[in-house]
């Protein structure tokens, strides 16, 4: 699963009536390619997947693949808390041309580790595509333990994990317990540099919508041994990321995109547009980020 270092968890553009805006979606894929994204993940939380119908998800995946035109990989979020529904959506994503699949840990029904292992094994077995696991206990109320990730890495097409549990110790155990070809990605922008330092490969990012080039500079600086510059950029990206999660996502990043010159439209209920204070927080953060990074 070659996603590069910066995979953007892409927002879904909506028009003023709340429908998927296909024209802006196509334009957004190109915008992200031109601004530092090595790959994109569509139909994830940032893409408001919980509010998309299965038909809308398939259309978003298909359009994103067509817009990318083979320039970067397109990874489709197809996971849910129903194994049967996950398998069905995974098959639709493969038919739509996705380059890979991202499977979130089942939420709400909170299976134990045996149940998670069986769920992911069955879902991965339904496709020939490479699979990225996604651990995000803050959203799912369930935790995919390192030992389960290590065991699942033995499934031939499970090749990566997006780790958003915030536990560097757990991530270290995953990295040390899996083969060299298995890749761990940070699911938190503010942990990208620490994750690189322990042997992680990159980040599935929200901030890269508006900070992709700077994130690429940070990764290059770290890998080239310029740790002072990497730390400086990490601090600025972390401050921006805090603002991008100051209100329920993706309202802040959609406004940040608008400030960066790309209007992705509104959000769908139950997510609300930013309030006045939210606009101020994001606007100030974007201004400070541009001043600090020279962009």
> What is the average pLDDT across 171-194?
97
Q: Is the pLDDT of residue 1 over 80?
A: no
> Does 204 show up as a binding residue in the annotation?
yes
> Does 46 show up as a binding residue in the annotation?
yes
Burial pattern 257-295, b for ≥16 Cβ within 10 A else e, equals bebbebbbbbbeeebeebeeebbebbeebbeebbebbee
Q: Which of 262, 224, 219 is nearest to 36 (CA)?
A: 219
Residue-wise pLDDT for 260-281, tens only, equals 999 999 999 999 999 999 999 9
* Domains defined for the chain, CATH in brackets: 6-229 (3.20.20.70)
> What is the average pLDDT across 190-204?
98
Q: Which of 35, 51, 41, 34 is nearest to 3 (CA)?
A: 41
134 is catalytic: yes
Angle between helices 54-68 and 22-34 (to 10 degrees): 40
Average pLDDT for the chain? 97
The catalytic position among 134, 185, 201, 222 is 134
Structure tokens at 2: 């070659």
The catalytic position among 91, 108, 162, 222 is 162
Residue-wise pLDDT for 89-111, tens only, equals 999 999 999 999 999 999 999 99
Are the C-beta atoms of residues 272 and 248 closer than 8 Å to each other?
Answer: yes
């Amino acid at each position: 699963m070659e996603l590069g270092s910066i995979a953007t968890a892409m927002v879904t553009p909506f028009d003023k009536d709340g429908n998927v805006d296909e024209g802006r979606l196509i334009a957004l894929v190109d915008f992200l390619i031109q601004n530092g994204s090595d790959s994109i993940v569509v139909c994830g939380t940032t893409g408001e997947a919980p509010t998309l119908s299965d038909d809308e998800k398939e259309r978003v995946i298909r359009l994103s693949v067509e817009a990318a035109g083979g320039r970067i990989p397109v990874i489709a979020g197809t996971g849910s808390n129903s194994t049967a529904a996950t398998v069905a959506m995974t098959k639709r994503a493969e038919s739509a041309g996705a380059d890979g699949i991202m499977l979130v840990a089942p939420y709400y029904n909170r299976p134990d580790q045996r149940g998670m292992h069986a769920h992911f094994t069955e879902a991965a077995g339904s496709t020939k595509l490479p699979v990225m696991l996604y651990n995000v206990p803050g959203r799912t109320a369930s935790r995919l333990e390192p030992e389960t990730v290590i065991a699942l890495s033995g499934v031939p097409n499970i090749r990566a994990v997006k780790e958003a549990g915030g536990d560097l110790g757990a991530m270290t155990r995953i990295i040390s317990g899996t083969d060299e070809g298995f890749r761990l990605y940070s699911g938190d922008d503010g942990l990208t540099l620490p994750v690189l330092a322990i042997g992680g490969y990159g980040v599935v990012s929200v901030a890269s919508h508006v900070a992709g080039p700077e994130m690429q500079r940070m990764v290059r600086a770290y890998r080239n041994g310029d740790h002072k510059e990497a730390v400086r950029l990490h601090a600025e990206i972390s401050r921006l990321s805090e603002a991008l999660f100051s209100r329920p996502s993706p309202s802040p990043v959609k406004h940040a995109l608008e400030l960066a010159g790309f209007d992705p439209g509104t959000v769908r209920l139950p997510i609300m547009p930013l309030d006045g204070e939210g606009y101020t927080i994001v606007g100030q953060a974007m201004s400070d980020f541009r001043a600090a990074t020279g962009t």
